[in-house]
Chains A and B, each alone.
Chain A
Amino acid sequence: MAAAVRARLPILYHYLPTPVPYKPALELQERLHQLQLATRRRQSHSQNSSLNEEGNKTHPDILLLLQHRPVYTGGRRQQQWTDELELEQKRLQHLGADWVPTARGGETTFHGPGQIVAYPLFDLGRMSRSIRCYIDDLQSIMQQHVTITHRISTTPSSLTGVFVTPTSKIGSIGVQVRHRLTTHGLSLNITPEPLAWFDQVVACGLPGVRQTSIGAELGREVRIENEIAPLVERFGRGFQREMRPVLEDEEPEVYAMIRELEILGENAGPWLSGPLLSPPTS
């Protein structure tokens, strides 16, 4: 009975239409993660009482879809501060982007307008999915979006991520798992805007691999807004769950936290559409 109830739980999703700064978005993920963890712990402490009882609410799985303002991020292996890293951070900041170290898997990457970032905040334990399967699931969702929705052919690779050719990559993955709860996720280039930024770094530790985008492959303009519905549907199919928007009435706390970030994005003003390629000589 309990398993059937869990299986029917929808994944709650939200799309933030205006690009948001990275650090507050990382904080939002952290707050939602803490909320999920606290709710799960409260629930397991009162397991003997009825599931429907007030105050014994289960934690939702959440999917955030958004774009960032231009930012380079490092992976877990790059957390230790070195002189080399400090120089690299300065160089990238001169290009007009932020640089943020993170605790996810993977190495350096770029996020910015024109690229969809998906943050699935899921309970893998409740889904009975291994971490390895979860990474495969994310990869299939992206790959199917590229090949089925857009009819762009991809090439199989022993590396994680989605490749259009062995040397051009369109989608990347990097996640963190704590107590079986996921943060971070995937990024998929939609318009060509992120590509010049990517050219400034060796992304994912793969020299010789360049990034491409759906727009660049199709040779025509694509709009981010049109990608959201098909991507959400792919998540639903991939994880065999109903997808429902985060509603203020149903999840006031979650909704308020997301809305806070959304407003930050709306008030942040215009962003740089490409790297500043002549850094000040000092």
Chain B
Amino acid sequence: MASSRFYSHNPKKYTLDHEWVSLDSETLLATISITHYAQSSLGDVVFVELPKVGDEVKAGEQIGAVESVKAASDIYAPISGVIEEVNSALDQQPSLLNKFPEGDGWLCKIRAANPDEMEILMTPEAYKEHCET
């Protein structure tokens, strides 16, 4: 169980809408959240709307939202699959998204239906460039 806290073994991929996804190629479980860049753009997060475990989602579909002060921003599934787990710690501590967006502030885990979808997402280098333009 403790090893599930370490995501760095699996390289992250990024979307144009500033979500990151890290796929465990053995279990096909993909961990998802928003990037550091996204959280800094939002300001203090006061509420996180999470998807339901068991929901089937398609890449690009809305799966939740983050509310910072007076602004609700939608979050989209980077890849298709079934929601396996949600990070319910965010209910009590939405600020985890500000503090650890790329770690303990993960949003949900999706069982990937089509791991090939990872290929079209941005590499860390491409994402960095996307943020700078």
Contacts and interface: CB of A to CB of B under 8 A. Distances in A.
B and A form one assembly: yes
Interface of A: 75-77, 103-106, 130-132, 134-135, 160-161, 173-180
Contacts of A76: 47, 49, 65, 67, 72
A125 to B, nearest CB: 9
Contacts of B123: none
Given A132-B42, A176-B73, 12 more contacts: A76-B47, A103-B65, A104-B72, A105-B71, A130-B40, A131-B71, A131-B73, A132-B43, A132-B71, A174-B70, A174-B71, A176-B71
Contacts of B47: 76-77
Contacts of A105: 67-72
Given A76-B49, A131-B43, A103 B72 contact: yes
A204 B71 CA distance: 13
A130 B69 CA distance: 13
A179 B17 contact: yes
Contact of A75 (B40, B72, B73): B72
A177 B103 CA distance: 24
Contact of B71 (A77, A161, A175, A179): A175
Contact of A160 (B42, B49, B62, B70): B70
Contacts of B17: 179-180
A177 B72 contact: yes
Contacts, number: 63
B27 interface: no
A175 B74 contact: no
B37 to A, nearest CB: 9
Given A76-B49, A76-B65, A77-B47, A135 B41 contact: no
Nearest to B67: A105
A175 B123 CA distance: 31
Contacts of A176: 71-74
Interface string B50-65: 0000000000001001
Contacts of A174: 70-71
17 contacts: A75-B67, A76-B49, A103-B65, A104-B72, A105-B68, A105-B72, A106-B70, A131-B68, A131-B71, A132-B43, A132-B69, A134-B71, A135-B69, A160-B69, A161-B70, A173-B70, A178-B62
B67 A135 contact: no
Contacts of B43: 131-132, 135
Contacts of A177: 71-74
Contacts of A77: 47, 67
A268 to B, nearest CB: 29
Contacts of B68: 105, 131-132
Q: Which of A76, A131, A160 has the most chain B CB within a 10 Å cutoff?
A: A131
B114 to A, nearest CB: 21
Q: Which of A77, A134, A160, A177 has the most chain B CB within a 10 Å cutoff?
A: A177
Contacts of A178: 62, 73-74
Contacts of B42: 130-132
B133 to A, nearest CB: 9
Interface string B22-45: 000000000000000000111100
A234 to B, nearest CB: 19
